[in-house]
């Protein structure tokens, strides 16, 4: 691990998340502002060559895990080809994808061949009408079918974990937590409940946030005590199991139990901006630098400076709610 990706708080950044596009085939209420977002021309997004160049540069400096996200990464026509190019970079030990799964099923065999090791599928409800309310589109059937296909292809094992991400909103889907957990009785999924986070345009109100402690209590009321499983300092989720169940339950409590101290993540947005913190508005356009002819040394200098400027922790949910940042759909989670 070089010093370039180690910050002032001795956090070593080994995990890079890359947005492939800001476009999406869903309109989730907590992510996409109701008014939509101004659509950037595709030329604003990094090309596959630019993405591979940056991936190689970061991997040479110690990154071992790369996640593709968005927007919806799979609406980009060359998403599978990009996955294959990154999967082939020496030093990439884990290649991950976060997707809403609408376009996943047909692309899964090619993604697996590209080296996809970690698959996260976003799904907030098991009811079709709620799916429509939450995502402003139909599609529950495709998501469930893609999950089945992923299990059949060998995802849902320690080598190829399959995680289901559900953002929990009070009064919308907070009565479904025990049903999601019941899914893990026989199926080796990790169901992860995410606290609702404030981003520009998502109408965040802290009354809609369901804190981890409350989520856990509602699950334990049905399934009994959850058993904590050991984790790593860089984990975003705290993981539990209902004793005897095949799968696990995770909580991502960015708001009530921030995990900044162990953060090992860096982000590149679809339009090529480098972000050292999901909640930090500071960004540098690596795209503009590359298109103006920056050498790898120039990029190193910029990246190193940004990493050294990373703050110890985010500012807390009330400050974040009042801070200007991008909408989530343009950051990529």
Cα dist from 153 to 45, 119, 123, 139, 143, whole Å = 31, 12, 19, 21, 15
Q: Which residues are CB-contacts of 175 (< 8 A; sequence separation ≥ 6)?
A: none
Q: What whole-number distance in Å separates Cα of residue 140 and Cα of residue 132?
A: 8
Residue appearing with tokens 């968005």: 70
- Kindly state the smallest distance separating residue 323's Cβ from ligand SAM, in Å: 14
Residue nearest to ligand SAM (CB): 333
Q: Which is nearer to ligand SF4, 69 or 218 (CB)?
A: 69
Please state the three-class secondary structure of 75-139 as a single string.
Answer: HCCCHHHHHHHHHCCCCCCEEEEEECCCCCHHHHHHHHHCCCCEEEEECCCCCHHHHHHHHCCCC
CA distances from 90 to 22, 34, 85, 255 (A): 28, 42, 10, 36
Binding part of the chain for ligand SAM, among 97-105, 139-147, 224-232, 236-244 by CB under 6 A, reads 97-105
DSSP 3: G
Nearest-approach distance from CB 320 to ligand SAM, in angstroms:
11
The reply to whether 26 sits near ligand SF4 by the rule CB under 6 A is yes
Query: Do residues 237 and 251 lie in contact, with contact meaning Cβ atoms separated by under 8 Å?
Result: yes
Can you tell me the distance from the alpha carbon of 210 to that of 260, in angstroms, rounded to the nearest whole number?
A: 20
Q: Closest separation between CB of residue 255 and ligand SAM, Å? A: 9
Q: Is residue 328 within the footprint of ligand SAM (CB under 6 A)?
A: yes
Other C-beta atoms lying within 10 Å of the C-beta of residue 9: 12
Under the binding rule (CB under 6 A), the answer on residue 173 touching ligand SF4 is no
Query: Angle at CA 203, nearest 5°, toward 197 and 206?
Result: 55
Q: Kindly indicate which of the ranges 6-14, 65-73, 78-86, 222-230 contains the residues binding ligand SF4, using the contact rule CB under 6 A.
A: 65-73
Structure tokens given for 76? 């980009």
Q: Which of 299, 331, 333 is nearest to 55 (CA)?
A: 299
Give the position of tokens 């101004």. 38
Using the rule CB under 6 A, which residue among 7, 61, 72, 190 binds ligand SF4? 72
Does position 72 bind ligand SAM by CB under 6 A? yes
Span interacting with ligand SF4, options 26-34, 45-53, 218-226, 245-253, rule CB under 6 A: 26-34
Name which of residues 90 to 129 contact ligand SF4 (CB under 6 A).
100, 122
Place of tokens 């999601």: 180
- Is the Cβ of residue 120 or residue 218 nearer to ligand SAM in the bound state? 120
User: Rounded to the nearest whole angstrom, what is the least distance from the CB of residue 134 to ligand SF4 in the complex?
Assistant: 9
Q: What are phi and psi of 253, to 5 degrees?
A: -105, 60
**Residue reference for tokens 């049903």:** 179
CB of 72 to ligand SAM, least distance (A): 4
Cβ nearer to ligand SF4, comparing 22 with 176 = 22
Nearest distance, CB of residue 40 and ligand SF4, angstroms: 15
User: Is residue 70 at the binding interface for ligand SF4, with CB under 6 A as the rule?
Assistant: yes
Comparing CA positions, the residue from 328, 285, 330 lying closest to residue 19 is 330
Q: Any contact of residue 100 with ligand SAM (CB under 6 A)?
A: yes
Q: Does residue 202 interact with ligand SAM by CB under 6 A?
A: yes
Contact window for ligand SAM (CB under 6 A) among 66-74, 107-115, 263-271, 283-291: 66-74
Q: Considering only residues 14, 17, 29, 30, which one is a binding residue for ligand SAM as defined by CB under 6 A?
A: 30
Residues of this chain that bind ligand SAM (CB under 6 A)? 24, 30-31, 69-70, 72, 98-100, 122, 165, 167, 194, 196-197, 199, 202, 328-329, 332-333
Residues of this chain that bind ligand SF4 (CB under 6 A)? 24, 26-28, 31-32, 70-72, 100, 122, 329
């Amino acid at each position: 691990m070089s010093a370039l990706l180690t910050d002032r708080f001795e956090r070593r950044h080994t995990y890079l998340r890359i947005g492939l596009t800001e476009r999406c085939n869903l309109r989730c209420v907590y992510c996409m502002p109701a008014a939509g977002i101004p659509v950037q021309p595709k030329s604003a997004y990094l090309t596959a060559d630019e993405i591979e160049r940056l991936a190689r540069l970061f991997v040479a400096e110690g990154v071992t895990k790369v996640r593709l996200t968005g927007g919806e990464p799979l609406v980009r026509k060359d998403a599978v080809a990009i996955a294959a190019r990154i999967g082939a970079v020496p030093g990439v030990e884990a290649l991950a994808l976060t997707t809403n799964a609408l376009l996943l099923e047909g692309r899964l065999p090619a993604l697996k061949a590209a080296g996809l090791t970690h698959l996260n599928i976003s799904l907030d409800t098991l009811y079709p009408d709620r799916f429509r309310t939450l995502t402003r589109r139909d599609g529950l059937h495709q998501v469930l079918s893609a999950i089945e296909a992923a299990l059949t292809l060998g995802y849902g094992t320690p080598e190829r974990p399959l995680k289901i991400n559900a953002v929990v909103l009070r009064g919308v889907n907070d009565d479904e937590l025990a049903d999601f957990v019941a899914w893990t009785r026989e199926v080796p999924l990790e169901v992860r409940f995410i606290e609702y986070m404030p981003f520009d345009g998502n109408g965040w109100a802290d009354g809609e946030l369901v804190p981890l402690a409350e989520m856990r209590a509602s699950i334990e009321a049905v399934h009994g005590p959850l058993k904590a499983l050991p984790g790593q300092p860089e984990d975003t989720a705290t993981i539990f199991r209902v004793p005897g169940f095949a799968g696990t339950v995770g909580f991502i409590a960015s708001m009530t139990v921030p995990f900044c101290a162990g953060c090992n993540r860096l982000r590149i947005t679809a339009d090529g901006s480098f972000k050292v913190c999901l909640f930090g508005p500071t960004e540098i356009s690596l795209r503009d630098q590359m298109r103006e002819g920056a050498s790898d040394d120039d990029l190193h200098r910029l990246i190193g400076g940004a990493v050294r400027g990373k703050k110890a922790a985010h500012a807390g949910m009330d400050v974040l709610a009042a801070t200007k940042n991008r909408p989530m759909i343009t950051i990529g989670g």
